[in-house]
């Protein structure tokens, strides 16, 4: 299977939003998605994305990320979503997208590469640990939404 990993463009936003929706369904949290395609276009300067694309130009995976600053370490690449359509899993595509994120983090001289994973998502945890991540079970997420 010939899959191209490339930087996403605005034209890819509908497919990316479709993957975001699929991921939310997989995580049983579709009701929590308040983002929209229109909002993605308005806020496109706040995130970056690489997509995995078939020879037929179908987008089947993504790695959506942004840069942040953490006081203890400095510039950080935060991988918000790594997702591969179910039919394409198990072929190393997640690893290829993760490798691209490492490449970006190094090129951008990031001091940290961070992500979150649900505690029940064993396949993702295995991928992240295989990639060298330490899964920290100490911290809790604290959010306020709809400001």
Please say whether the beta carbons of 116 and 143 come within 8 A: no
Q: How many CB atoms lie within 10 A of CB 27?
A: 13
Please say whether the beta carbons of 23 and 42 come within 8 A: no
Write out pLDDT tens, residues 91-145.
Answer: 999 999 999 999 999 999 999 999 998 888 888 888 899 899 988 888 888 888 8
Whether the per-residue pLDDT at 146 is higher than 80: the answer is no
Write out pLDDT tens, residues 24-71.
Answer: 999 999 999 999 999 999 999 999 999 999 999 999 999 999 999 999
Active-site residue list: 128
List the one residue out of 126, 124, 111, 127 whose CA is nearest residue 77: 111
Write out pLDDT tens, residues 3-22.
Answer: 999 999 999 999 999 999 99
pTM: 0.92
> Which CATH code is given to the segment(s) 4-130?
3.40.630.30
User: What are the extents of the domains in the chain?
Assistant: 4-130
CA distance 58 to 127: 24
What is the 3-class SS of 67-90, one letter each residue?
EEEECCCEEEEEEEEEEECHHHCC
């Amino acid at each position: 299977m010939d899959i191209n990993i490339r930087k996403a463009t605005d034209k890819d936003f509908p497919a990316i939003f479709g993957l975001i929706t699929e991921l939310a369904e997989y995580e049983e949290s579709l009701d929590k998605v308040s983002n929209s395609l229109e909002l993605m276009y308005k806020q496109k300067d706040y995130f970056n994305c690489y997509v995995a694309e078939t020879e037929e130009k179908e987008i089947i995976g993504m790695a959506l990320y942004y840069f942040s600053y953490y006081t203890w370490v400095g510039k950080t690449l935060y991988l918000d979503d790594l997702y591969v359509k179910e039919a394409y899993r198990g072929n190393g595509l997640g690893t290829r997208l993760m490798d691209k994120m490492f490449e970006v983090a190094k090129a951008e001289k990031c001091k940290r590469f961070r992500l979150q994973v649900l505690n029940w998502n064993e396949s993702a945890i295995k991928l992240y640990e295989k990639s060298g991540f330490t899964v920290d079970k100490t911290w809790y997420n604290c959010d306020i939404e709809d400001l």
